[in-house]
Amino acid sequence: MIVCLAQMDSVIGDFTGNAARIVSMTKAALDQDGASAKSDLIVFPELSLCGYPPMDLLDQEAFVEGSLKALRLLQKELPPGLAVAVGYVDKNRDASGRALVNAMSVISGGKIVFTQEKTLLPTYDVFDEARYFEPAKTRKAYVHPKGRIGFAICEDFWWESPPNPSFKYPVDPVKELLDLNLDLLVVPSASPFVKGKLETRLRLARSRAREGGIPVLYCNAVGSNDSLVFDGRSFVVNPKGKPLAFCDWDESFLVFDSETMKAEGCAETIPYSPADEKPAARESGVTRAVVDKNPPMEELHRALVVGIQGYMGKSGFTKACLGLSGGIDSAIVAVLAAEALGPENVQCIAMPSRFSSEGSIDDSVELCRRLGMRLERLPIETPFKAYLDLLATPFAGRPFDLAEENLQARIRGALLMAWSNKFNALLLTTGNKSELAAGYCTLYGDMCGALAPIGDLYKTEVYDLARHLNALAKAEGRPEPIPLPIIEKAPSAELRQDQKDQDSLPPYEVLDGMLRLYIEDNASLDAIAAAGFDRELTSKVLAMVARAEHKRRQAAPVIKLSRRAFGIGRRLPLTRQIHETRV
Amino acid sequence: MIVCLAQMDSVIGDFTGNAARIVSMTKAALDQDGASAKSDLIVFPELSLCGYPPMDLLDQEAFVEGSLKALRLLQKELPPGLAVAVGYVDKNRDASGRALVNAMSVISGGKIVFTQEKTLLPTYDVFDEARYFEPAKTRKAYVHPKGRIGFAICEDFWWESPPNPSFKYPVDPVKELLDLNLDLLVVPSASPFVKGKLETRLRLARSRAREGGIPVLYCNAVGSNDSLVFDGRSFVVNPKGKPLAFCDWDESFLVFDSETMKAEGCAETIPYSPADEKPAARESGVTRAVVDKNPPMEELHRALVVGIQGYMGKSGFTKACLGLSGGIDSAIVAVLAAEALGPENVQCIAMPSRFSSEGSIDDSVELCRRLGMRLERLPIETPFKAYLDLLATPFAGRPFDLAEENLQARIRGALLMAWSNKFNALLLTTGNKSELAAGYCTLYGDMCGALAPIGDLYKTEVYDLARHLNALAKAEGRPEPIPLPIIEKAPSAELRQDQKDQDSLPPYEVLDGMLRLYIEDNASLDAIAAAGFDRELTSKVLAMVARAEHKRRQAAPVIKLSRRAFGIGRRLPLTRQIHETRV
């Protein structure tokens, strides 16, 4: 049989739009030249009809009704003569348990001919599915005239790789499905991007394909919703576990013929080279050569561009603005925004103070020149002076301290928001993960913004990405976007005379090493010290992280790139004893 | 047997401090005159050893180790000769399932003589327990030499009142316990305050006491953690379902003798008068007379004071500051802060603009005079002018609009934060639930602050509370704290000439009615229209609410008072289609 995976970008709550897209993609697949025109089954991602994650919209009965109404619409409008699998939210019709189920139905000839509910409900990190859904009680095979198919919905496929090593799901849905004498295993997913996650997906698919001796077809969502980027990259592995074809990150098809065991995707390269195999043959070319040398950075680059485009597009903005400080963080956000939105849609604003170096402005001017972005210059001295005068009496006799430092950052925040309000441009905030972790940022100041593109990149990763973007440009014959002085200067917030980040923070190589162990691995002080970090310094850093929790609670959403990003996937109390530094 | 309920204020992560408090409260109970000196069993609340809710601290192995270490400490330090029940986090020692359990153990003679794990894991609203815990597989009776006791941990007791009508827990732990021939049912809880929730707790206790023909002892936590206030009010009902005694909202004991069926609490009144019974006899007195006439408002008042005190105390602040606009919201926050912290610790700041009425300042002066708070006056004209001059060129030819309105609010936010930073005073933000819902507030402006005390009170409730606080003061012979003009003037943000809230919003009686149905009940447009609200206006309001989601994502934590407060208990996507106005 011929199966077509249709990786799709759904909008949460846009039932009519998503249904129309499912219909138009189905027709497009059938209208194309080649194998897809003969598709027996088209598969769309998990919850493609309502978008993922719907979060507490699921508490609204009208949301569930909207999803079901769209399902009925699909039954009418999908072309007959083939089967189409779509994900949607349904009511739980059992007597007990949660109100809803995360379901996937096959529509054929205007009827629902098969339904599988999701069994394993991710309830960790950014996922809250046990909040809404009742797990499936049974796993069944969909019997198509041309073959028996098992559907493992996203997490159902992850039994072998639970969220943490001390947690084991009591049921293995794929094992149960493989016992049903399947011809194919299909995995409709809405699996958010995390760096390196594609390799895990592939490892799982290879393992299960070999276990069952059948092909595994993985169909992921694309686009982004809030913090989450869906990286698509749907793929097929053959019964020996060999990847046959991939999709890229955009809305597109992958077509697999189970007779010939041939698959056609749209990605130029197979972004996968497991240690136990030779890398698959690749198309060469200058760009690809660079990318291949640096796949982790290129993966992050791609995710960031998709994340910015998705957030802007889905919140109805075409224009963005941001503050350029002359430092590496704002420079890289500007480069990413220019790529995502077009430089003509990115307004940069430099807001020098009495403490800004001349170099900072020159570097910002040069950056904008290279990228073709407009730069506005708004020196903050006059409002700063007005505030200082106003506060002179109550603050009399007290030294210049954090209050005045933060005030400068807040003036910049207010100017950027005024710009955002006046010109309907979405403000991008430029803080990185190291700063957000240590609290080396000003709430309502440089933290202002609707989206924090690099809020899940450690400072050392920001440097790596900057070098990668310059190398990529050079390899493609474009001018390097980021002026060298921006990469090479010592990082500084420039909020007082001769300030350097390293006056308040350990060197970023050290800081990021500690933070990664603490945030990503939940490592204790003992464990971090055992990894070779200074115990006393680690204790200080962990205390800084804990004390900055209230800032992060009010931070802009970040684009999730790591296993543990700040935001909805990391939930900590504010008023607590900092036990980490003492146990 | 004699059972003493010890309602305690735990600090999250303060294992040593919580253990010491458990030991000192146990000793205090035994040292008191009266029945508690003969206690056979002392009961502490759910997770009293680690504090509730620990949230993602539970992902840190060191947190769980800290909890277990403190448990071993308790085994050494608790006096012998009686049994003590404490709640803590333990590892799940089964082969599969989540890593942890929410456990309660009885310590006696230095040993753990009984353990019950929690069965029903709340995973709705502010609760995320399925994220961390594996449910108990069995329910057992604790066999004390003097009686058989069943422990239903918090949600285990709520089978009859699930989070929503379409959800039914598959297991009823209390039913299973009652089948074990118990003498007593004990309910150790960490049950956050919600208005009217005490009545539900009592209803459940009465029902279960009658069902089992045994007394039910309900032991709740006190104090607050972040958004959550724990209202204590532990109680005992007899086998006929009659409430015998209550605790108040503070750390204290309730002692029950199962021989005599007599109980001694510390609350002066029994805040309960079910429709089917006569109110219990009460001590009279002027204050109580007022309170009794107005229990819902007094309950909110109490929760707000406890919430402010808890947040301030546990984050290490003694001083607070806030902006006084002359309106009702900031006035009531000032009154609550003065009561919670002492007026000498509350700094009010009036920041008039070119659009402020003279009355606004006079009213603020009068409010501070009545309460004995300091008032600083910082007119914002000079920084406002500096910003306008700076932006004159890029904004040339564009009308005064939201950008300039918001700018004024952001100048005030920056001044308040400068004050907060300079004097180490925690900034209280003064927005109410109606504003936060409709987005009638400025991000990084009046939304600045570490805590939003009245962020879960609708505007109409703010007025009710203001009248209640004045009535309470009058009844107690104190001057009314809130000047009448503040209550009577038409609400205005005063961000442009002659602005009134009702230019942008429906009358608050209408707005709040719609919002309550939409936010608390997840009602659809159809349902709200069917309740008598104008359909078109409702559609507009629902769109406003959805469009303000990005503001609330960056809002300060509110003190939760209602079934559905903004914050961690209400989780919505930002970039989505607003389906509510169309379905």
Query: Tokens 């402010």 belong to which residue?
Result: B308
Instruction: Answer for the pair B56, A572: CB distance below 8 angstroms, yes or no.
Output: yes
Identify whether B339 is a catalytic site residue. no
Instruction: Answer for the pair A49, A10: CB distance below 8 angstroms, yes or no.
Output: yes
CA distance A106 to chain B (A): 25
Task: Please give the structure tokens belonging to residue A194.
Answer: 């995390």
So which residues of A are the catalytic ones? 46, 118, 154
Which pLDDT belongs to residue B294?
66
Which has the closest alpha carbon to A364: A380, A347, A381? A347
Among candidates A17, A411, A522 on the partner chain, residue whose Cβ is nearest the Cβ of B414 = A411
Distance CA A358, CA A381 (A): 15
What amino acid occupies position B350?
A
Query: Tokens 């800081």 belong to which residue?
Result: A511
Residue A552 banded pLDDT, cuts 50, 70, 90: very high
Dump pLDDT digits (tens) for A482-525: 999 999 988 888 888 888 888 889 999 999 999 999 999 999 99
Distance CA B141, CA A375 (A): 72
Which pLDDT belongs to residue A360?
83
CB contact under 8 A, A526 and B62: yes
Task: Please give the structure tokens belonging to residue A171.
Answer: 């049921």
Residue B281 banded pLDDT, cuts 50, 70, 90: very low
Assign domain B2-272 one CATH number from 1.10.10.10, 3.50.20.10, 3.40.50.720, 3.60.110.10. Answer: 3.60.110.10
Q: Which residues sit opposite B133 in a β-bridge? A: B100
Q: Helix, strand, or coil here: A253?
A: strand
A149: enclosing H helix or E strand: strand A147-151
Instruction: Answer for the pair B255, B263: CB distance below 8 angstroms, yes or no.
Output: yes
Dump pLDDT digits (tens) for B206-248: 999 999 999 999 999 999 999 999 999 999 999 999 999 999 9
Residue B154 has pLDDT above 90, yes or no: yes
Domain A2-267: CATH superfamily is: Carbon-nitrogen hydrolase (3.60.110.10)
Instruction: Answer for the pair A67, A35: CB distance below 8 angstroms, yes or no.
Output: no
Dump pLDDT digits (tens) for B500-545: 888 889 999 999 999 999 999 999 999 999 999 999 999 999 999 9
Residue B283 has pLDDT above 70, yes or no: no
CB contact under 8 A, A418 and B391: yes
**Structural fold of domain B295-502+556-563:** Rossmann fold (3.40.50)
Task: Please give the structure tokens belonging to residue A215.
Answer: 């092909």
In chain B, residues with a C-beta closer than 8 Å to the C-beta of A351 are none
Distance CA B119, CA B138 (A): 8
What amino acid occupies position B555?
A
Instruction: Answer for the pair B576, A51: CB distance below 8 angstroms, yes or no.
Output: yes
Which pLDDT belongs to residue B268?
56
Distance CA B73, CA B275 (A): 47
CA distance A469 to chain B (A): 28
Q: Helix, strand, or coil here: B376?
A: strand
Distance CA B240, CA B159 (A): 20
CB contact under 8 A, A575 and B311: yes
Between B55 and A283, the higher pLDDT residue: B55
Residue ranges in A372-457 assigned as alpha helix (H): 381-391, 402-423, 433-438
Q: For the ranges A118-127, A498-507, B145-154, B514-523, which has the lowest average pLDDT?
A: A498-507
Kindly state the percentage of chain B with pLDDT values over 90. Answer: 86
Provide the b/e sequence for A415-429 (b: ≥16 CB within 10 Å): bbbbbbbbeebbbbb
SS3 content of chain A, % helix, strand, coil (to 5): 40, 15, 40
Q: Helix, strand, or coil here: B7?
A: strand
Q: Which residues sit opposite B89 in a β-bridge? A: B102
Q: What is the dihedral of CA A84, A87, A91, A96, to 10 degrees?
A: 110
Question: What would the mean pLDDT of A394-404 be, rounded to a whole number?
Answer: 97
Residue B146 has pLDDT above 70, yes or no: yes
In sequence order, the 6+-apart residues with CB closer than 8 A to the CB of B21 are: B8, B9, B10
CB contact under 8 A, A450 and B550: yes
Give the DSSP letter of residue A573: -
In chain A, residues with a C-beta closer than 8 Å to the C-beta of B401 are 421-422
In this prediction the pTM is 0.95
Task: Please give the structure tokens belonging to residue B259.
Answer: 């021989």
| Count of alpha carbons within 13 angstroms of residue B364, beta-carbon side | 26
SS3 content of chain B, % helix, strand, coil (to 5): 40, 15, 40
Task: Please give the structure tokens belonging to residue A237.
Answer: 């592995």
A553: enclosing H helix or E strand: helix A549-553
In sequence order, the 6+-apart residues with CB closer than 8 A to the CB of A530 are: none
Q: Helix, strand, or coil here: A569?
A: coil
Which pLDDT belongs to residue A282?
36
Question: What would the mean pLDDT of B281-296 be, rounded to a whole number?
Answer: 47
What CATH number belongs to A295-581? Answer: 3.40.50.620
Kindly state the percentage of chain B with pLDDT values over 70. Answer: 95
Sign for the pseudo-dihedral over CA of B471, B477, B481, B482: positive
In sequence order, the 6+-apart residues with CB closer than 8 A to the CB of B503 are: none
Query: So where are chain B's domains?
Result: 2-272, 295-502+556-563
As a three-state string, the secondary structure of B204-265 is HHHHHHHHHCCCEEEECCEEEECCEEEECCCEEECCCCCEEEECCCCCEEEEEECCCCEEEC
Looking at chain B, how many residues does it have? 583
| Count of alpha carbons within 13 angstroms of residue B245, beta-carbon side | 17
Sheet containing B83-91: order of strands: B111-117, B100-108, B83-91, B41-43, B2-7, B252-257, B262-264
Between B358 and B416, the higher pLDDT residue: B416
Catalytic annotation, pick one of B46, B117, B134, B580: B46
Catalytic annotation, pick one of B50, B117, B134, B154: B154
Distance CA A208, CA A240 (A): 10
Distance CA B471, CA B480 (A): 7
Backbone conformation region of residue A9, classed left if phi is above 0, alpha if psi is from -120 to 50, else beta: beta
B337: enclosing H helix or E strand: helix B328-341
Distance CA B483, CA B500 (A): 20
CA distances from A284 to A399, A419, B131 (A): 61, 45, 46
Task: Please give the structure tokens belonging to residue A155.
Answer: 């997490």
CA distance B458 to chain A (A): 21
Helix axes A328-341, A358-371, angle to 10 degrees: 20
| Count of alpha carbons within 13 angstroms of residue B333, beta-carbon side | 30
Residue B357 has pLDDT above 90, yes or no: no
Q: For the ranges A60-69, A160-169, A279-288, B24-33, which has the lowest average pLDDT?
A: A279-288
**ipTM for the predicted complex:** 0.94
A504: enclosing H helix or E strand: helix A501-504
Q: For the ranges A281-290, A297-306, B175-184, which has the lowest average pLDDT?
A: A281-290
Mutate one of A73, A374, A574, A581 to test the B interface: name it (highest B CB count within 10 A).
Answer: A574
What amino acid occupies position B557?
P
Which pLDDT belongs to residue B499?
85
Question: What would the mean pLDDT of B553-557 be, rounded to a whole number?
Answer: 98
Distance CA A350, CA A362 (A): 10
CB contact under 8 A, B414 and A387: yes
| Count of alpha carbons within 13 angstroms of residue B6, beta-carbon side | 28
CA distance B285 to chain A (A): 37
